[in-house]
Structure 1
Amino acid sequence: MPLQTFEEKIDSLEPEEIPSILLANGFSQAWDHNIFNYKNLLQRANFGARDANIRDIFDKFDTYDFEQVMRALEAAEAVCETYGVDPAKIDEISTDQEQLKASLIQVISQTHPLRSSRVTTAQFQSAKPFIIRFDKIFTLNYDLLLYWIVNKYDIAPEGYYTDDGFRRTTWENVDSQNVYFLHGGLHIYDDGTTIKKHAFNGDADVSIVDQVRDNLNQGKFPLFVSEPTFEKKQTRIEHNPYLNSCFKALKNLSGPLFIHGHSMAENDRHIFNQINASGVDKVFISIFGDENSEANKETMANARRFIDTQKIQIEFYDAASAPIWQ
């Protein structure tokens, strides 16, 4: 039996059930799979003086996944410490971890579309009505697509406003917030005392990416969770006031939740744990392509493993049927 469509899942809700959504990488990949994928990021990454060494690790693991290589480096450091390997070599491994993280952040800002005008008016006209169907909007993505969508005030329906918690350029912990960047974003940064954002004006189409690059040149990095395991991601989140507030908001959620564009992988288990601890009673998960493929079978199995099916009803829908970038 084929997967039901997004609209069929929406129609299955009671009138009083207002869904929320959690967006993941598939949301961005559907806009441009060449920009938002690890292979492209790796090809354009610059690891500085350690470039050949770090790329050799990617080759040995036959992967484009920065997180997998980060996990391997962390494991190597732990093993070397246990066996009393030369401290200089351990320092080298630790330095490579920091280089990997820094290079990832830099290449993201370099490959990201420069301006919101790269998204066509027709795409905005499709994406905005899709997004505003949801009460609370969570994203695990670092890119600016969602940020651009919710700030496109000249796109119908006009008069629709979201609240990302920022007042002008400074974040404040307000109850009215309903847009949450759970793993940070290119437009968010810590200036040492407060959490700030680069403001986006849809009419002026000022390049936020240029602002991010300027910050990088000053040693200010985007607020970005790139830790390899869910435990380390959660530790990073809990030590930042903005990220921790967004994380708690997920736990405070109730009603139905759509998860769009996520492979339900282990490294985001901290997110699934928050959903399990929340008041969410239904989860609708997107599946892209053949539902019987090995990758999709694994996604569905992981969903049933990581989501508490004793208290939460799980259903799947066809990702391609969601009218986001059409």
Structure 2
Amino acid sequence: MTDLAALPPCEVSWFAALCDDDYEFLGVADPRLRSSWAHCRDIVLQAETGGFDNCLLPSGYQLGIDTTAFAAGIAPLLRRLALLMAVRVGESWPPQLARQIATIDRMLGGRLTINIISSDLPGETLASAPRYARTVEAMHILKTLLNGEPLDHRGEFWRLTIEPPRVGTVSGRAPLFYFGGLSPDARAAAAVGCDVFLMWPDRQEAVAAIIADLRARAATHGRTLRFGYRAHVIVRDTEAEARAAAERLLSKLDAAEGAAIRARSLDSTSAGVAAQAALRETAADDGYAEANLWTGIGRARSGAGAAIVGDPDQVLAKLNAYRAMGIEAFILSGYPHAAEADLFARHVLPRLDHAPLVR
């Protein structure tokens, strides 16, 4: 049995629905919950008020609002919350992105972290191997410049000789890079370039196997990784109430609309999404893949498709079980996002030993 007191504090982040992913009833569009500056601002401010450590700002060029512009807009409104800004490296020129990252980090007082997404350019489709090779190059370029070092890079995708930007991060070092992906190419890229490997919900034995595999891959490069877990959460006073809230969330879902929502996502054909579908398909008839892990959300969502569901003690125990396995960062969300953030902040967060991740 792992002694929780011996574990480092875990980072607990919430999720700002910048990509039109907020609902009272899954699959039923609600104009009040569409991505907008005001709505997403309110989610982030709720996360700060609730005591979360960080907040993920997702990115998608087809849905919602622009992530980098939003991060710059919200930064002056925050006093202590960190931001995990998602960047789609296929859409960016790395030296310009480095300047943007350094500037926003300054605006936040040094509290910016980066979620690297191995994206295509809009209208382009690269095969997996070259796309992840490009991502590795981008991470190297960004880290070099954000560490304040001159760059002489001769890669397949970029050839650059450049001095670092005049304005660097508050720490003088690159922010932590969070990154996820289950394909062999994604795992290889993570082992070389990221700091925190993110995974989506799965049975505990599968989570343990992913952690072991990524640790071994990173070790071959003389590196160590930290691990994060992205999941939804539904917490109520009793388990029965939490399960009822989960059922209510799906109570108006049309199956065809759910399939259309999943298909619209840019990652709908990825290995990670396939794993979420397999988890859902092998769950019990009530949608639970294991105790307190409910896969119903994946019926109307690509990406992270399962929720931790239960009373405060059960949700806390589930999170602590992941911590004992090596998870140091949680990125949580729930529907509607502002309301569920408040419930988690009141019922569970004060009982977790948590703090922002630091190098």
Structures share fold, TM-score greater than 0.5:
no
TM-score interval (norm. to shorter): under 0.3
